[in-house]
Amino acid sequence: MDLNLPSTNLDQATEGRWCQFNDDIKFKVAMSNNPKHKRAIQSRLKTIEKMRDKGDYNRVEIINNEITAQHILKDWSGLKDNGKELPFSTDSALAILSDARYAPIKEFIVGESMENSEYEDEAKDIVKK
């Protein structure tokens, strides 16, 4: 089907789109609930529920950070560590997402991943005859 309605660009939803954080830094962010993200959540859902039931919210946050580092944050540009360009890696992403000092970055990434309209293909013009 090729409807004249907005639709999700699944490649961009999974691979991510570039989002400007500030003048120097941008992040490549995939859409929340993209197919890989959903599978990762589903595979760890029992553990998440068990930890939540025990009140172990720290462990739930660790799991969420791991899933976000693996399936939402895809790359970055302009991010520096001690003045040197920091190459992207899942381990570095997890360290940043897990560090409370960088909460604004985490909030930005999660927020951008939920902006589903940014992952939509342009709606085709509707021509009335």
* Average pLDDT of adjacent 10-residue blocks, the chain of 129 residues: 66 87 96 91 93 93 96 97 96 97 96 76 37
Does residue 123 sit in helix, strand or coil?
coil
* pLDDT of res. 6: 62
34 and 118 in contact (C-beta within 8 Å)? no
Long-range Cβ contact pairs of 22-25 (< 8 A, separation 24 or more) = 24/78, 25/76, 25/77, 25/78, 25/79
Query: Which residues touch 55 (CB under 8 Å, ≥6 apart)?
Result: none
Report the distance separating Cα 122 and Cα 15, nearest Å.
Answer: 18
pTM value is 0.81
Q: How far is residue 93's CA from residue 74's CA, in Å, rounded to a whole number?
A: 9
Residue 7's pLDDT is 61
pLDDT given at position 115: 85
* Assigned token pair, 42: 């589903």
pLDDT score of 48: 92
> Which pLDDT score is estimated for 66?
97
Residue pointed to by tokens 């000092």: 101
Q: Where are the domains of the chain?
A: 13-112
